[in-house]
Amino acid sequence: MSSPGYTVVTGASSGIGRAIALALANEGHNLILGYGHGTDRISRLVDDIRASCPVDAIALHLDLRDARATVAAVESAVGELGSIRCLVNNAGVNDRSSADALDVQRIEDVLAINTVTPLALASAVGRRMIADGIAGSIVNITSVHDSIPITGGAVYCASKAALAASGKVLALEFARHGIRVNSVAPGETATAMNGVDDESRYADIVRPAIPLGRPAGVDEVAAAAVFLAGPASSYLTGTTITVDGGLVLTAAEENARYAGRLVPATGRKDIA
């Protein structure tokens, strides 16, 4: 049976968002599924969830470039349906722009979608949870690039770093109300947005620079989000689960290899 209250998932029509929605439905969450594009995809997702799980699921069109309109739409939906137990700020856009050719409109759009609207939503949802006396959960999907730079990622890295930092502040302020705020930071994930046509074949994609040798599957990222959304993580707030196959561990590896100081995996080489 479904649990009282609704969980909002943004960017639910495809990729990681879709996987999170399906996993949450299997855990008994009633769902408000935010989407920007892909009307057919979100309709199929709603039908699939209603057919396979004893929960409610509704689609809600959101333009995340407009924080005020997005917050108003979510507040209206929650007001009609009841209470809110969880928010998963999943929707986001990627950007690779040369540092000497940044476009102001693109900067504003990326920051609006990746930072401003998720922060505004988290604030509004937290306010509603406090008013209803609900010790809920807010989960932000950031990126390993919230702390690791990548060429061409000035805007994207800034947007994810800001979301990660603001989430920690919200965690600190909302804690006294029993509301937890955490993040999931994926590394490379096999999604259409990353050029992968068949997400189910993620294990066949070779990535030698990642210690586990492949990108993440969407279900692997979703599992972390569902854990943070649920009672099993009841003593976690202000933290980040990094789902990257060990990618962040390799920052010094290439330089050490170039300098001839890398310790072989099967032997020993003293490093001065």
The CATH H-level superfamily of 6-258 is NAD(P)-binding Rossmann-like Domain (3.40.50.720)
The structure's pTM equals 0.92
**What is residue 203's predicted lDDT score, i.e. its pLDDT?**
83
Q: What is the mean pLDDT of the chain?
A: 92
- Alpha-carbon span 216 to 210, nearest angstrom: 10
pLDDT at 193 over 90: no
The yes-or-no verdict on residue 267 having pLDDT over 60 is no
Mean pLDDT of 242-246: 96
Count CA within 13 A, CB hemisphere, residue 52: 13
The rounded distance, in Å, linking the Cα atoms of 214 and 190 is 9
Measured distance CA(207)–CA(212) in Å, rounded = 8
pLDDT of 152: 94
pLDDT at 112: 98
Cα-Cα-Cα-Cα dihedral of 14, 19, 23, 28, to 10°? -10
* Nearby residues of 20 by Cβ (< 8 Å), 6 or more positions away: 9, 12, 88, 90, 221, 222, 225, 226
Q: Which amino acid is at 271?
A: I
What Rg do the C-alpha atoms of the chain give, in angstroms?
19
**58: its two tokens:** 């509704």
Q: Which sequence positions are flagged as catalytic?
A: 156
Query: What is the number of other CB atoms lying within 10 angstroms of the CB of residue 230?
Result: 17
Please state the rounded mean pLDDT for residues 232-246: 97
Does residue 197 have a pLDDT over 80? no
Distance CA 254, CA 233 (A): 36
- Extract the runs of DSSP E, i.e. beta strands, from the chain: 6-9, 30-35, 57-61, 84-89, 137-141, 180-186, 240-243
Q: Phi, psi (5° rounding) for residue 52?
A: -110, -15
Pick from 53-67, 91-105, 181-195, 251-265: least confident? 251-265
Q: At what angle do helices 117-132 and 67-81 cross, to 10 degrees?
A: 30
